[in-house]
Amino acid sequence: MIRLTLPENIQDHEKIIDLCCEKNIRYKSDILTNKNFLLAAGNCYNDLSATNDLYLLNDKLPEGENINGNLKNEYMVQLYNYCLRDCRCGNIYDTIINLAKSPEIQCPFCGGISIPSQLDHFLPKVRYGHFAVFPYNLIPICKDCNTEYKKEFLPTTKGKQLIHPYLDDNCFFNQQWLYAKYINSTIEYSVEPPNDWSNDKKEKVLFHFEIFKLKERFAQNAVGTLSDLLVQIENSKLYGMDMDIFEKSILDSVIQKESRINHWKRVLYSAVKSELQNIWQESS
Tens-digit pLDDT profile for residues 173-230: 999 999 999 998 999 999 999 999 999 999 999 999 999 999 999 999 999 999 999 9
Q: How many CB atoms lie within 10 A of CB 64?
A: 8
> Considering the entire predicted model, what is its pTM?
0.92
Based on the number of CB atoms within 10 Å of its own CB, is 110 exposed (0-12), middle (13-18) or buried (19 or more)?
buried
Distance CA(52)–CA(168), nearest Å, equals 7
What integer pLDDT is reported at residue 112 of this predicted model?
Answer: 87
Question: pLDDT > 90: what percent of the chain?
Answer: 83
Indicate if the pLDDT at residue 7 is higher than 90.
no
In the chain, where the domains are located: 8-150, 171-282
Q: How confident is the model at residue 159 (pLDDT cuts 50, 70, 90)?
A: confident
Mean pLDDT of 96-121: 89
pLDDT of residue 44: 96
Return mean pLDDT, the chain. Answer: 93
Give the model's confidence band at 36: pLDDT under 50 very low, under 70 low, under 90 confident, else very high: very high
Write the secondary structure of 161-216 as one string of H (helix), E (strand) and C (coil). Answer: CCCCCCCCCCHHHHCCCEEEEEECCEEEEEECCCCCCCHHHHHHHHHHHHHCCHHH
